[in-house]
Structure 1
Amino acid sequence: MKAWMFHTTHQPFERTDIPEPTAGPGKVVVDVKAAGLCHSDVGILEDEGWLAIMDTPVVPGHETAGVISEVGEGVTDWKVGDKVAVWPMIGPFGYGVNGGWEARAEADAEQLVRIPEGVSFAQAAAATDAGMTSVGALSTGGVKAGQKVGIIGFGGLGQIGARVAHLEGAEIYVAEVNESVWDRAKEAGAVKVAKDISEFKDDELDVIIDYAGFGTTTAAAIETVRREGVVVQVGMGKLEATISTNALILGKVSLIGSNGGSKEDIASVMKWMASGELKPVLTEIDFEEIPEGIKMLQDGTAKGRLVAKVAE
């Protein structure tokens, strides 16, 4: 069956054919309909640090949605024909075990989330990481109604995080270098939009969530958040950052890392999608165009979240 394979950093993904999986005990096989592309998929090509969590060669793709086509021994809560999204934290999916950039993927029954009516496969795929990670970061930061929340990056993750935070009653401030998406940020609920988070220094932000993670963004967040505020680090655009420990210590700032989220976070995102209140911008590409999609992420021309259509 068709698949894209990752071998190691500094080598392109390989388009290949591999044997079809079968459902082992406690597992299912999912006919993949949609699989997302993420900046971390760029990261594994460029930064050897990612290899520590990977078992190569491996099929990437940690944002996956499709239809169950086979059920393994002992699986009682799921059946053939169920539409599901895959929680990627087990495996981890697309890193330690084969992910969704293939026609059929084996998944643990414990990592399945049912796709509600009104949610497309492309939306469900985006919900599994872009959605889960965005909402998980809100939980990590203790975001609640009435708080002033800074969002760094209005891309695949930030657009969801900003919108959900707004829907839950927070006051949103978006920092995004790409001015072409500023209107969308305002439509999502942002009260202010600027190129750099430091422009909100006088707004006394309670929480800043860095969905970009390019080092300088982390440093700026620490120097911008109010005294005793919280900075949540999510984005992994760069795996290292130089920060002012002076600002961190004297400001009594809490810097917290946030990695992924729960199945409940995915379900929450899909609930908002089904209601029509959350409509993240998605760009759908063909399965064979995944390398072109990666290039779009590298050069910053991707619009919203990229999702590959694996099958009809």
Structure 2
Amino acid sequence: MKALQYTALGAEPAVVDIPTPKPGPGEILLKVTAAGMCHSDIFVMDLPEEAYVYGLPLTLGHEGAGTVAELGAGVDDYAVGDAVAVYGPWGCGSCHACSLGRENYCVRAADLAITPPGLGSPGSMAEYMIVDSARHLFPIGDLDPVVAAPLTDAGLTPYHAISRVLPLLGPGSTAVVVGVGGLGHVGIQILRAITAARIIAVDLDEERLTLAREVGADEAIRSDANAAAAIRESTGGEGATVVFDFVGAQSTIDMAQQVVAIDGHISIVGIHAGAHAKVGFFLVPFGASVVTPYWGTRTELMEVIALARAGKLDIHTEAFALDDGPAAYRRLREGSILGRGVVVPK
């Protein structure tokens, strides 16, 4: 089968031919119908040798959708041909967090060498992939797999970040979304669907600011030297109730700390090497919290899929053939994909 793999440190990913895997006991073989592209993939591929821990070669793709092709011994939750999405942050299944469906916060995964697809385990950018357990699959029915695949991260991650601060996002609140990319443009829609917050979008790119308005932002502000002042002015000087930073660069984290309100909240969702928040008295407003949420829970993925099936989410995607995967990642790196890039391995 064909797979898109990161094969050597510092190299571009490449399309290679590898054996089609066979499912072992408890495992499921999926015929992949769509695999989402993420800036986290670029973060991984840019890591220096001393920080790289994901193994080589690595089949990329931690967002996946497919149809069940073969069942391993003991699996009776699904039938061949079922259309499913893959829950990515695999855990042990038995610790306290996992028993609550919060496998994204499994306390034993690292010790047991359990890794997510595309981030240690073979991922979804291939014609077939192995899923380790039926509990990591969710039915999608007739939902377009090109839409369903990004829901597993680009939908789930902002949904998790927003869900944990829902009590703050009532009438009169303001949510700032920094970065209107694959996650940010979905985050705006989730905020519109499940909260009463006024939404301010911030981005460098005018096309993305236009997209932000189209999908539900009340205001769109260019991310420049005047952005913090503009947000303060827009909120009557009070600042933002919650800031969701889907970029995670030092400049955006610094801006979030400048604009968050007293007793507000900052979620740093995006990842940039070396970027960090400076927390302490007089560095953030009194009562303000700063967190780094990770992915989302199994229950939350069910809810995100339900939102999409109800027509509440309009995932903007650009599809690429598997053979065009290397060029697609170049496009992702240069920032020329609007919304989410999705590889379709037909």
TM-score per shorter chain, which class?
Answer: over 0.9
Q: CA deviation at 1:125?
A: 0.6
Within 2, Cα distance between the matches of 1:242 and 1:207?
Answer: 15
Where do 1:27-66 residues align within 5 Å? 27-48=27-48, 51-66=51-66
The CA distance in 2 between the partners of 1:124 and 1:110, in whole Å, is 17
Instruction: Read off the aligned partner of 1:112 and give its amino acid letter.
Output: L
Matches within 5 A, 1:14-33: 14-33=14-33
Alignment correspondent of 2:80: 80
TM-score with structure 1 length normalisation?
0.93
Q: Given the alignment of the two structures, is residue 154 of structure 1 paired with residue 176 of structure 2, yes or no?
A: no
1:108-142 deviation digits (Å, cap 9, x = unpaired): 2121011133x201011110111111111112334
Of 206, 228, 243, 1:179 maps to 206
> Which blocks of at least 5 consecutive residues in structure 2 are unaligned?
91-114
CA offsets 1:206-263 (integer angstroms, 9 cap, x no match): 1000011122101110111101210001011444236475653454421100110022
Distance in 1 (CA, whole Å) between partners of 2:337 and 2:41 is 14
* SS of structure 1 residue aligned to 2:262: coil
Deviations, residues 10-32 of structure 1 (Å, cap 9, x unaligned): 12213211111111111100000
Q: Would you say the 8 A contact 2:169–2:241 is kept in 1?
A: no
Could you tell me which amino acid in structure 2 is paired with residue 115 of structure 1?
Answer: I
For 1:276, the equivalent position in structure 2 comes to 311
Q: Is residue 2:339 matched to residue 1:304?
A: yes
Compared CA separation, residues 217 and 247, structure 1 to 2 (3 A): farther
Paired residue for 1:133? 157
Aligned equivalents of 2:285, 2:311: Cα separation in 1? 43
Aligned-residue offset at 1:265: 2.2
In 2: Cα distance, 1:183 partner to 1:249 partner: 31
Residue 92 of structure 1 is matched in structure 2 by: 116
CA contact (8 A) 2:261 2:285 kept: no
Report whether the alignment pairs 1:165 with 2:191.
yes
SS in 2 for 1:138: helix
Q: CA deviation at 1:50?
A: 9.4
Give the equivalent residue in structure 2 for 1:124: 148
Judged with a 3 Å threshold, the aligned counterparts in structure 2 of structure 1 residues 151 and 49 are, in CA distance, closer, same or farther, namely farther
Runs of 4 or more consecutive aligned structure 1 residues displaced over 3 Å after TM superposition: 49-53, 140-145, 241-252
Size of the aligned set, in residue pairs, is: 310
Q: Would the aligned equivalents of 2:179 and 2:203 in 1 still touch at CA under 8 Å?
A: yes
Q: Which amino acid letter does the alignment assign opposite residue 57 of structure 1?
A: P
1:141–1:193 distance in 2 versus 1, CA, 3 Å: same
Q: TM-score, normalised by structure 2?
A: 0.84
Structure 2 residue corresponding to 1:188, chosen from 186, 201, 215: 215
| Residues 217-228 of structure 1: pairs in structure 2 closer than 5 A | 217-228=252-263
Gaps of 5+ in 1: none
Q: Which position in structure 2 is the counterpart of 1:201?
A: 232
Structure 2 vs 1, CA of residues 145 and 53 (structure 1 numbering), >3 Å: closer, same or farther?
farther
Pair 127,44 (structure 1): closer, same or farther in 2 beyond 3 Å: same
Q: Percent identity over the alignment?
A: 28
Structure 1 CA distance for aligned equivalents of residues 197 and 53 of structure 2: 35
Rounded to whole Å, the distance in 2 between the matches of 1:23 and 1:272 is: 31
CA–CA separation in structure 2 for the residues paired with 1:145 and 1:230? 14
Counterpart of 1:112 in structure 2 is 137
What is the aligned-residue RMSD (CA, Å)?
1.9
Deviation, 1:51, is 4.8
